[in-house]
Amino acid sequence: MPQAFDPELAALMPPPLPPSERPAHRLTIAETRAHFDRHVAGPSRAYLEPLLPAESTYTLQDETMVVVGGEIIVRTVVPVVEDEGETFPVLVNIHGGGWSVGSIGLDDYFLRKLSVDLKLTTVNVEYRLAPEHPFPTAVDDCLAALKWVVQNTLLLKADLTKGFLVGGQSAGANIAAVLAHETQDDPFFAGPGRQLTGQVIREPCVIHPDAYPEELKPSMLSMEENKDMPPLPRSVIELLISYYNPPPTDPRFSPLLYPSHAGVAPAFVQGMELDPLRDDARAYAAALEAAGVAVRYLEYPGVSQGFHYIYPAITIAVKVRAELVQGIQWLLGKKSGSVA
């Protein structure tokens, strides 16, 4: 593997196949989903399963939500504590997978442990996937899930004034960033206990590759520099975007293009040096900071998009998860609109 990779990661990654041995056909969406579940979600779940807290320390429930045109599931995890009247902040999690693969299983075990360790209710959203459900279905489903949280605080043992976070990884981070903006002007979220207090943005896509403003083009280099980096090269990113089929300049896909970022919830942002989307993460953090939003940005050298799911035991993957927890703790220590 290239010397640029983290040594532990390079030792584990298989060598690239020569052109003559590469599959002759493009995977179907069903094959892509099966591959993701086996080779991305599978290693992470296997690693985290022995670390799960005792089942007596949390309650897990799958709730069915009616949304426009169908139904979705939200998986809730609520800590069990001695004081039955205690209430908790909430993190709404939106899984990654290019808007077209993945499920609530991807982050399930991590969220169970997070809920117990931080005394935090988590709500994991099983939004509908493209290409069967193209843009903006995922945004609409996840916005509905946020509203469901506000309407079901008793069920969740939640006090949203203690913290109301939205977050996700990759495509999930894209949706989370969109929701952080969309909720600002939605009257449903006006008033105490309804406003988002933080966003957790992990390896995000925040702008369509065809929609870079002229002033950003000199700094948006990673899509070309890292175009061949496994496990998510540019060609796959473009394929997944095509499944979702958003208008490139619509801020509900390209949240970097919202007219203003002022007043959105504080953000914890993680980026990967060798990710084609690295400069999306940098640009989003910089845009929020320029608008006066409290931001913490961490970038990890020698690694690429989603590596920590596939190789969860290596040192830098452990570091990514540990600092993710610290970032969430930082957000939970803030009030909406406060600064660092």
Query: Is 13 within a domain?
Result: no
Amino acid, single-letter form, for residue 336 = S
Alpha-carbon distance of 55 to 68, in angstroms, equals: 34
pLDDT for position 340:
31
Query: Is 77 within a domain?
Result: yes
pLDDT for position 21:
64
Domain ranges, residue 177: 28-332
Alpha-carbon distance of 298 to 304, in angstroms, equals: 14
Q: Based on the structure, what is the number of domains in the chain?
A: 1
Query: Is 15 within a domain?
Result: no
Q: In this structure, what token pair is assigned to residue 258?
A: 């919202």
Query: Is 98 within a domain?
Result: yes
Query: Is 16 within a domain?
Result: no
For 57, other C-beta atoms within 10 Å of its C-beta total 15
Question: Cβ(283)–Cβ(206) under 8 Å?
Answer: yes
Render pLDDT for 150-179 as a digit per residue (tens, 0 to 9): 999 999 999 999 999 999 999 999 999 999
Q: For 250-289, give the DSSP string.
A: -TTT-GGGSS--TTPPPEEEEEETT-TTHHHHHHHHHHHH
Alpha-carbon distance of 64 to 217, in angstroms, equals: 43
Q: In this structure, what token pair is assigned to residue 218?
A: 């000199």
Q: In this structure, what token pair is assigned to residue 20?
A: 């003559």
Q: Tell me the β-bridge partners of 73.
A: 64, 126
The residue whose two tokens read 């095509």 is 242
Question: Cβ(78)–Cβ(115) under 8 Å?
Answer: yes
Domain holding 272: CATH number? 3.40.50.1820
3-state SS class at 17: coil
Query: Is 50 within a domain?
Result: yes
pLDDT for position 338:
33
Altogether, the residues listed in the chain come to a count of 340
pLDDT for position 16:
72
Query: Is 6 within a domain?
Result: no
State the burial class of residue 52 (Cβ atoms within 10 Å of its Cβ: 0-12, 13-18, 19+): middle
- Sign, CA torsion 240/244/245/248: negative
For 184, other C-beta atoms within 10 Å of its C-beta total 18
Separation of CA 115 from chain center: 17
Pairing of strands 267-272, 198-202: parallel
Question: Cβ(86)–Cβ(103) under 8 Å?
Answer: no
Q: In this structure, what token pair is assigned to residue 265?
A: 């919830």
Q: In this structure, what token pair is assigned to residue 131?
A: 């290409």
Alpha-carbon distance of 332 to 48, in angstroms, equals: 24
The residue whose two tokens read 């600002």 is 184
Separation of CA 144 from chain center: 17
Pick out the chain residues at pLDDT < 50.
1-2, 334-340
pLDDT for position 192:
86
Task: Provide the whole-model pTM.
Answer: 0.95
pLDDT for position 23:
64
Query: Is 307 within a domain?
Result: yes
State the burial class of residue 55 (Cβ atoms within 10 Å of its Cβ: 0-12, 13-18, 19+): exposed
pLDDT for position 335:
43
pLDDT for position 20:
66
